[in-house]
């Protein structure tokens, strides 16, 4: 079934069934790839990828995903097109819709992605904003599902900043009904209003715990991310100090249930938020998680573009 929304801006916009459909298709296509090339259903179709911030995984995985489905992709720098400076967002959205099958955007202010989506007639995919990183969490959910077998009674301990990745985990908890514990220093949590909206009417749960050892106590997954996100480089030194007790190191991992999976969206600052021995440990599924960006996004593209009447 095609997804009911034109755009993929936030996990909160989708039902549990839709999210599971993306994950299940991702797992199926991943298995199909072992048997041979996928159907070139996107022959003649192009994905535009607008980047206002750097990327390794998001850029390469989206480009490879389009290629594997018989289509192509185009890297577009925000500097070049100047959404809102060189050209009004509504004009950019309408013009791109005349050429492309879909557009992925990585930018700072979430409202830029929303405005583009509002004016484009093609699917707009959020490839990371200051607010959210939904594609990352789709790959993460797929990875947990593969390793653990299901997402039932899941507790994810996110040790670090209440950032775009943490918020998307909370949105997923709200839709799929699991528990997120954010272990962070006081003042670095997720906004109350965001949490209330994400969890409204759901069995999903969220707790902020300012003691790292207490935060990992019941974790099935120990997740971390950089302490200073892209755009927060000026705060890096201050944040290094504030977060120093929240490093995912063997001592902290030792406080968590044995067998808890180690996850990181990458890029990692080894020696800051996570140590080498933890990222390389037996329970680390960090590189499966990185690989699954490709599979989850290919499935997402298949479902969004297939039903969208795109060129």
Q: Which residues are catalytic?
A: 106, 133, 136, 225, 265, 293
Contact call for residue 41 and ligand CP (CB under 6 A): no
Contact call for residue 226 and ligand NVA (CB under 6 A): yes
Comparing CB distances to ligand CP, the nearer of 105 and 310 is 105
Q: Shortest approach of ligand NVA to residue 28 CB, angstroms?
A: 26
Contact call for residue 229 and ligand NVA (CB under 6 A): yes
Comparing CB distances to ligand CP, the nearer of 146 and 207 is 146
Q: Shortest approach of ligand NVA to residue 266 CB, angstroms?
A: 7
Contact call for residue 56 and ligand CP (CB under 6 A): yes
Taking only Cα atoms into account, the Rg of the chain, rounded to an integer number of angstroms, comes to 19
Among 61, 73, 126, 164, binds ligand NVA (CB under 6 A): 164
Comparing CB distances to ligand NVA, the nearer of 20 and 55 is 55
Q: Could you please report the per-residue DSSP string of the chain?
A: ---SSS-BS-GGGS-HHHHHHHHHHHHHHHHHHTTSPPP-TTTT-EEEEEESS--SHHHHHHHHHHHHTT-EEEEEEHHHH-BTTTB-HHHHHHHHHHH-SEEEEE-SSHHHHHHHHHH-SS-EEES--SS--HHHHHHHHHHHHHHHS--TT-EEEEES---HHHHHHHHHHHHHT-EEEEE--TT-S--HHHHHHHHTTSS-EEEEES-HHHHHTT-SEEEE--SS-TT-GGGHHHHHHHTGGG-B-HHHHTTSPTTPEEEE-S---BTTTB-HHHHTSTTB-HHHHHHHHHHHHHHHHHHHHHTTT--
Among 10, 58, 97, 292, binds ligand CP (CB under 6 A): 58
Comparing CB distances to ligand CP, the nearer of 299 and 310 is 299
Q: How many residues bind ligand CP (CB under 6 A)?
A: 9
Q: How many residues bind ligand NVA (CB under 6 A)?
A: 10
Among 2, 21, 38, 55, binds ligand CP (CB under 6 A): 55
Contact call for residue 224 and ligand NVA (CB under 6 A): no
Contact call for residue 69 and ligand NVA (CB under 6 A): no
Task: State yes or no: cis peptide before 267, omega within 30 of 0.
Answer: yes
**Token pair 């249930």 in the structure block, residue:** 257
Contact call for residue 180 and ligand NVA (CB under 6 A): no
Q: Shortest approach of ligand CP to residue 58 CB, angstroms?
A: 3
What is the edge-to-edge ordering of all strands in the sheet holding 205-209? Answer: 205-209, 179-183, 155-159, 221-224, 261-264
Contact call for residue 164 and ligand CP (CB under 6 A): no
Site string for ligand CP, 119-148 (x = CB under 6 A): ---------x-------x------------
Contact call for residue 131 and ligand NVA (CB under 6 A): no
Binding residues for ligand CP, per CB under 6 A?
55-58, 128, 136, 265-267
């Amino acid at each position: 079934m095609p997804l009911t929304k034109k755009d993929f801006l936030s996990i909160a916009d989708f039902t549990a069934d839709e999210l599971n459909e993306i994950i299940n298709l991702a797992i199926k296509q991943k298995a199909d790839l072992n048997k041979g090339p996928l159907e070139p259903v996107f022959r003649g179709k192009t994905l535009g990828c607008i980047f206002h911030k750097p990327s390794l995984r998001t850029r390469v995985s989206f480009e490879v995903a389009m290629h594997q489905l018989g289509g192509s992709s185009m890297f577009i720098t925000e500097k070049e097109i100047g959404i809102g400076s060189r050209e009004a967002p509504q004009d950019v959205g309408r013009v791109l819709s005349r050429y492309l099958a879909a557009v992925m955007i990585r930018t700072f202010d979430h409202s830029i992605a929303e405005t583009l989506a509002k004016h484009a007639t093609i699917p707009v995919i959020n490839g990371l904003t200051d607010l959210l990183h939904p594609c990352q969490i789709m790959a993460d959910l797929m990875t947990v599902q593969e390793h653990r077998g299901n997402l039932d009674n899941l507790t994810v301990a996110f040790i670090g900043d209440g950032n775009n990745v943490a918020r998307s985990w909370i949105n997923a908890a709200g839709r799929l009904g699991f528990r997120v514990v954010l272990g962070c220093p006081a003042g670095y949590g997720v906004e109350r209003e965001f949490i209330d909206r994400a969890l409204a009417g759901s069995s999903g749960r969220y707790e902020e715990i300012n003691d790292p050892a207490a935060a990992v106590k019941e974790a099935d997954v120990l997740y971390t991310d950089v302490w200073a996100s892209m755009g927060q480089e000026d705060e890096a030194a201050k944040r290094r100090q504030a977060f120093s007790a929240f490093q995912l190191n063997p001592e902290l991992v030792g406080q968590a249930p044995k067998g808890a999976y180690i996850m990181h969206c990458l890029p990692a600052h080894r020696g800051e938020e996570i140590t080498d021995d933890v990222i390389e440990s037996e329970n680390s599924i960090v590189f499966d998680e990185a690989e699954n960006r490709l599979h989850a996004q290919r499935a997402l593209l298949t479902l969004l573009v297939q039903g969208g009447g795109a060129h």
